[in-house]
Structure 1
């Protein structure tokens, strides 16, 4: 199977490996709201866009300014709206797929799946880090999985 989005034509396994490799280059980047600069700052939404765009799987979309506390006060699924422009929902994730969680009233946090439940995400307290989604605060939240493949 091949996937064509934006700039490159990949086989699925190569594309998944490229996503994981690119994601690892973001490790240690501090969390910064609405930022997307590797090593300087990124949030949990922009990192997903930057990784998929760097791999040539999507063209970088224009994302309007968004309040940091949106999910606590509104019902509009702004985060999922962007995710669902490029990915479809799946029951179980593969490497390079997305996991998203409900925080507050909407789905508003995401991560790249390395090998479920191992993820890399932009954590507000720790920056871009490896995490185990089967324990801690993420394991207590409603989650969904999305894939750009298939």
Structure 2
């Protein structure tokens, strides 16, 4: 059986091997973590729901604003913290006390859990959702249905 989450995973896996490029969102040419999400959105839903302003590597750390989290809340459906399913958008806080600024899509669940993300120095990869990564998850979201 295939559901919307499996479609998200298939779309995200098609980006694996794309080099890391800050602010880019072009499969095969370059993407950062937000660019991966933007590209999968376009492939699944069409036009992006809002323009993305230019952003620095440190995002909104200086002012402490959760800009990425607020944007995810505008366009995705929040999921309970304990829920886990393929295709969920994962939001990570890379350091305690810092703003959440990394994104990825859950691919595998359970013992072999993994996620697909664009990571500086690595490009778009599928990584194990290991304990250190799990500890950094601050929110989960699902693609909205029927958009």
Fold in common (TM above 0.5): yes
Q: Using the TM superposition, give the Cα deviation of residue 17 of structure 1 relative to its aligned residue in structure 2, in angstroms.
A: 2.4
Aligned partners of 1:130, 1:142: CA distance in 2, in Å? 16
Correspondence for 1:59 among 20, 42, 47: 47
State the match for 2:5 in structure 1: 16
Note closer, same or farther for the CA distance 1:125–1:139 as it changes in structure 2 (3 Å cut).
farther
> Hey, what's the Cα distance between the residues in 2 that align with 1:48 and 1:90?
17
**Could you state the TM-score of these two structures normalised by the residue count of structure 2?**
0.82
Superposition pairs of residues 93-112 of structure 1, within 5 angstroms: 93-104=84-95, 105-112=98-105
1:1-150 equivalences under 5 Å are 13=3, 15-56=4-45, 59-60=47-48, 61-91=50-80, 92-104=83-95, 105-116=98-109, 117-136=113-132, 138-149=133-144
Higher strand share: 1
Gaps of 5+ in 2: none
SS class of match (2:36):
helix
Shift of 1:115: 2.1
With normalisation by structure 1, the TM-score equals: 0.80
